[in-house]
A and B are shown apart, each in its own frame.
Chain A
Amino acid sequence: MPSMSLFLSQLFNGLATGLLLALISTGLTIIYGTLGVINFAHGALFVVGGYAGYTVYSLTDSFVLAVAGGAAVALAAGLVMERGLMRKYYSRPPEDQILVTFGISIILVEIVRGIYGGVSLSVAPPGWGQGVAHIGSLIYPLYRLETLGIAAATLLLLYFVLYRTSLGLIVRAGIEDAQMVNALGVNIKRTFLLVFGLGAMAAGFAGVINSPIVALTPDMGFRYLVESFVVVVIGGVGSFPGAIIGGIIAGEILSLTAMVNPQYSDVMLFVAMALVLIFRPQGLMGQEGRE
């Protein structure tokens, strides 16, 4: 029987992992919600952000700058992607959109591999993140605790942007009916560009935050892509609260199963997804009829 403190620590771990997954998935879900496109390059943008952060970190020795740099590079990659290609694809069938974003993900990953090589790179946690924290009887790595805080704060910020600003209003209206928003005179093209950039930035940001926890490899993005798919299928594609709830559920499943039998933690994640598909195909927070 696992001890109480181990259980608590895993519960914490699950929350930290879950909020990070929620952050990645949020980017995926707002892009889908607004543009109707599922970005298969999302995992690659996560990798691009992580590596860019690594470079900035090793040049400046400042983790804060690394996060800003990683997010900025992912944002730039997202903007170029939208301007250069995605714009041509909004009127094409969803299969084409999936294929082209998938092709872009290969290109991004291979560029990263070309620059940094295929070996894994580990990133040390920043000075303020080294050591452990004592929470009651629980001893917990400080950096993990901080990621939990950072992810939660970022999600709150995103919530604020989406629900309290005029851009957010347009984005949410766009999710309901993009044509109508366009007809009302809002420059939907500009909004699309912004949203795509914002989604890419969320992935890049998460990529840097995650790098002291999991070593960087060019192929790591696919794993996060798959996990964020599971998160949005559980939560409901296009739903911001769904991404957060789905993220936390996924994080806890991964972490609590790992406590019992680590071999099964990934498999349980897919079992949860299967259950959602059987009993609530539209996802926990998804709306009926949105495909």
Chain B
Amino acid sequence: MSSAHESTVAAHGAGHRTGGDAPASRGKAPASAGTVHAGGARRQLPEILVGLCLIAAPFVLPYVGMSPDLLTRILIWGLFGLGFDLLFGYTGLLSFGQAAFYGTGGFVTAYLLTADLVPNMLVALLIGTVLASIAGLVIGYLTLRRTGIYFAMSTLAFGEMFYFLENSSFKEYTGGENGIAGVPPPHLSLGFVDFNISSGWPMYWFVAVFFFVGFLIARRIVRSPFGAVLKAIRGNPKRAMALGHSIQSYKLTVFVVAAAYGGLAGGLLGLFQSYMPPDAFALDTSAQLVIQTVMGGAGTLLGPLLGATIWLYLYEGLQQVGSLGPYWKLILGIVFVVLVTSFRHGVAGAILDFVRTRRGRLPADIDAGASAKVSSELAIVPPLESSRPGAPVLEARGISKQYGGLKAVSDVDFSLREGELHGVIGPNGAGKSTFFAMLAGELPTTAGKVYFRGQEITGIGVTAVCQLGMSKSYQINQLFEHLTVRQNVMIPVLARSRGRFRSDMLKGLHSDALDEQVNAAIALVGLSHHADTLVSEMSYGEKRRLEIGLALATGANVLLFDEPLAGLGPEERVLVVSLLKSIRKGRSMVIVEHDMDAMFELAERITVLYEGCKLAEGTPDEIRQDPSVQAAYLGGMDDHEFA
């Protein structure tokens, strides 16, 4: 009875698939995937495969007992999960309140259609999605004020709030415990011809189109500059911030995107069942989403879909086995705990790992179009108003830091001249790190102010300081361990080219200008041969150089190095010292270091800190001869303390 619709809708769906951004023809890609060069069809392989699977599913899966209704339900969960995976799998934000958006989208859409306020089904879906996004904006603003466990707890609590609201304040509209029944079946009008999409396979095709478009968009987001920053936030939020990204804006944006996916999926649920159930808002819904995503594999986009398949198929399967039916959730709980404990990346992760070990590497791992050839030098922020050599770039005036009764730094004056390499030394506990953190704008001062080219920067935060053109490398490596060297260096380069925040979710990541900058920075720190190696697989010395490389790649012309030689062996030490020498042109630097020999070799001027105060300042020769410095390092400071 529905075969006519079926074929039209199917054709429509297929049109979307090939009409996307896949340049290659349908048949060619999978067969020749092994030989095609990186880029082109190969880069679109996941899109093509997913499209083909969606088309093939109705012809294959019924043979394993999957009904069209089951497949449609899986797709709705999969669509819901695409947004959640962007939030959790890619950005690392574990929310337990996604039901709030699923329910909002669902109930708004269902209400608009049943109350006949909006006759057009697509418009109703759109309004539902938009309202869910607005709810996401509000809840995201509140919950993202804290991270980690606070975020998980408060999203869960706000999710419950929506459930209570549905059952109380909005009862009149939502039907309270009864939900909204009688949602009209989807109806599409193309101007010249109308479709009524009936249940069964037509509904599958209808939802499959939404899923596929949602998947294409999610893939674009993951591979955009915006997506690269999300992954950096998951890996090391503090460093992402220090490299000039306003991570709070990114988190809030991706939270809203996830809410929109939830809202759309909820709207489709009401259309699919012609009924909107109140438990769409329940904690169980959020929990099911989390479990499905983790089982299927977070950070893969398709993990949630896979997880939903396992969940729903397992449920139906266990109901068949009479005695096991009541225990299906117990079995599920055990499977979940085992997966979390042993297979951290879920089923999809396990499959990807398998493919990786078989083939060496996935096409997605190789950033095509970014050849390791260095064709230009690493650009740096040009010094403002062609400042005179010798003019102060960075100045601290009488800065102090007090922690309770402890004075870590007291009344230190400091000035870095344009083009200078200035060393800061001092014995352990001299207050070097605190002093440095204040200098970098990381830490507010108790008294005194810090100026960068005449502008006050006292405690304005690392992101703002980085955007002004000053960057710091850390004593303990702060890298994005789960990314490759190239992906690491991309993060600061993006901050420089895009500013604190930009929502360029659909743009491609690579451009010649960006790739050149990335390659130049990698070449500068001598890691070109490792450009596509995961950072977690590199040696400590190489990581140490990458740490410096990240600061360099921001393009900052004022650099603060916190013990760049810490923990290095003699050979690596020589490498890093010569690296520091080679980058001096056009840059001003402050280096905190224990290694006195390196310091006397590198620095033009040296400041000595002792017990939070400035003990001496001068050229390396002057410092070497200074009796108070000698005394400080030999431990005989008693005279000076009383002096």
- Residues of A that sit less than 8 Å from B by CB: 32, 38, 85, 88, 94-96, 98-100, 102-104, 106-107, 110-111, 114, 222, 226, 229-230, 232-233, 237, 263-264, 266-267, 270, 273-274, 277-278, 281-282, 291
CA distance A110 to B336 in the complex (A): 14
Interfacial chain A residues near B158, Cβ < 8 Å: 270, 273-274
Within the assembled complex, what's the spacing in Å between the Cα atoms of A103 and B331? Answer: 11
Cα distance A222–B148 in the bound complex, in angstroms: 20
Q: Is the CB of A106 within 8 A of B336?
A: yes
From B164, B326, B329, B341, A106 is in contact (CB under 8 Å) with B329
User: 8 other contacts beyond A103-B337, A264-B168, A267-B165, with CB at 8 A cut-off?
Assistant: A94-B148, A103-B336, A106-B330, A230-B157, A233-B157, A267-B161, A267-B164, A281-B145
From A85, A106, A274, contact of B333 by CB (8 A): A106
Instruction: For the complex, give the distance between the alpha carbons of A98 and B153 in Å.
Output: 10
7 A-B pairs with the lowest CB-CB distances in the bound complex, closest first: A106-B333, A263-B168, A110-B330, A270-B161, A103-B337, A107-B333, A229-B153
Q: Which of A96, A100, A226 contacts B157 (CB 8 A)?
A: A226
Partner of B160, one of A32, A98, A226: A226
Please state if A267 and B169 are interface contacts (CB–CB under 8 Å): yes
Chain B 138-176, CB within 8 Å of chain A: the 1/0 string?
000011011111101110111011001100110000000
Output the least CB separation between A136 and chain B (Å): 34
Report chain A residues within 8 Å CB of B131: none
Indicate if the CB atoms of A278 and B168 lie closer than 8 Å.
Answer: no
Q: Please tell me if the beta carbons of B340 and A291 are within 8 angstroms of each other in the complex.
A: no
* A98 & B161 in contact (Cβ 8 Å cutoff): no
B195: interface (CB < 8 Å): no
Query: Would A270 and B160 be within 8 Å (CB), given that A94-B149, A99-B294, A110-B329 are in contact?
Result: yes
B310 at the interface (CB under 8 A from A): no
Q: Is the CB of B149 within 8 A of A98?
A: yes
Q: How far is the CA of A98 from the CA of B95 in the complex (A)?
A: 11
Report the separation of the CA atoms of residues A264 and B168 in the bound assembly, to the nearest whole angstrom: 7
CB atoms of B94 and A98 under 8 A apart? yes
- The CA-CA distance from A259 to B336 in the complex, in Å, is 42
Nearest chain A CB to B349's CB is how many angstroms away?
14
How distant is the Cα of A110 from the Cα of B333 in the complex, in angstroms? Answer: 9
Contact (Cβ within 8 A) B92 A95: yes
**Contact call A38/B330, Cβ cutoff below 8 A:** no
Chain B at the A interface: mostly helix, strand, loop or mixed? Answer: helix
Instruction: List 6 A-B residue pairs with CB atoms under 8 Å apart, sorted by A's residue number.
Output: A38-B152, A104-B333, A229-B153, A264-B168, A266-B164, A267-B161
Answer yes or no: B397 CB below 8 A from chain A CBs. Answer: no
Contact A229 B145 (CB under 8 A): no
Tally of A-B Cβ pairs under 8 angstroms: 111
With a CB–CB cut-off of 8 A, which chain A residues contact B327?
110, 114
How many residues belonging to B are interface residues under a CB distance threshold of 8 Å? 40
- The reply to whether A264 and B145 contact each other, CB–CB distance below 8 Å, is no
**Which residues of chain B are within 8 angstroms of A103 by Cβ–Cβ distance?**
291, 333, 336-337, 340
Is B150 touching A233 in the complex (CB atoms < 8 A)? yes
- Contact status B169-A98, CB under 8 Å: no
A282: B residues at CB distance < 8 A: 146
* Bound: A165/B340 CA distance, A: 37
Q: Say yes or no for B347: interface residue by CB 8 A criterion.
A: no
**Closest CB in chain A relative to B260 CB, distance in Å:** 22
Please give, as numbers and ranges, the residues of chain B lying within 8 Å of A100 by CB-CB distance.
337, 340-341
Complex: A270 Cα to B165 Cα, angstroms: 11
What is the CB-to-nearest-CB distance from B136 to chain A, in angstroms, rounded to a whole number?
15
CA A104 to CA B94, docked complex, whole Å: 17
Q: Is B334 an interface residue (CB 8 A)?
A: yes
Contacts of B150 in A (CB 8 A): 233, 237, 281, 291
From B153, B161, B344, name the one whose CB has the most chain A CB atoms within 10 angstroms: B153
**B287 at the A interface (CB under 8 A):** yes
Which residues from chain A contact B329 at a C-beta distance below 8 Å?
106, 110
B79 partner residues in chain A, CB cutoff 8 A:
none
Asked whether, in the complex, the Cβ of B340 is within 8 Å of the Cβ of A38, the reply is no
Contacting residues, chain B, for A270 (C-beta < 8 A): 157-158, 160-161, 164
Asked if B142 and A277 sit within 8 Å, CB to CB, the answer is: yes
Q: How far is the CA of A222 from the CA of B161 in the complex (A)?
A: 13
Contact indicator per residue, chain B 225-264, by CB within 8 Å of chain A (1) or not (0): 0000000000000000000000000000000000000000
* Interchain nearest-CB distance for B76 vs A (Å): 22
Q: How far is the CA of A244 from the CA of B145 in the complex (A)?
A: 23
Chain A residues whose CB sits within 8 angstroms of the CB of B291 once the complex forms: 103
* Shortest CB distance B224–A (Å): 24
B589 within 8 A of A: no
Q: How far, in Å, is B238 (CB) from chain A's closest CB?
A: 11
Q: Are A95 and B94 in contact, CB atoms less than 8 angstroms apart?
A: yes
B145 / chain A contacts, CB cutoff of 8 Å: 277-278, 281
Residue B332 interfacial (CB < 8 Å): yes
- Is B132 positioned at the interface, with any CB of A under 8 Å from its CB? no
| Minimal beta-carbon separation of B295 from chain A (angstroms) | 10
Interchain CB contact (< 8 A) of B168 among A106, A237, A267:
A267
A38 and B157 form a contact (CB under 8 A)? no
| Complex alpha-carbon distance, A267 and B294, angstroms | 30
- Among A94, A103, A267, the most chain B Cβ lie within 10 Å of the Cβ of A103
Q: Using an 8 Å CB-CB cutoff, how does the interface string of B591-616 with A read, 1 for contact, 0 for none?
A: 00000000000000000000000000
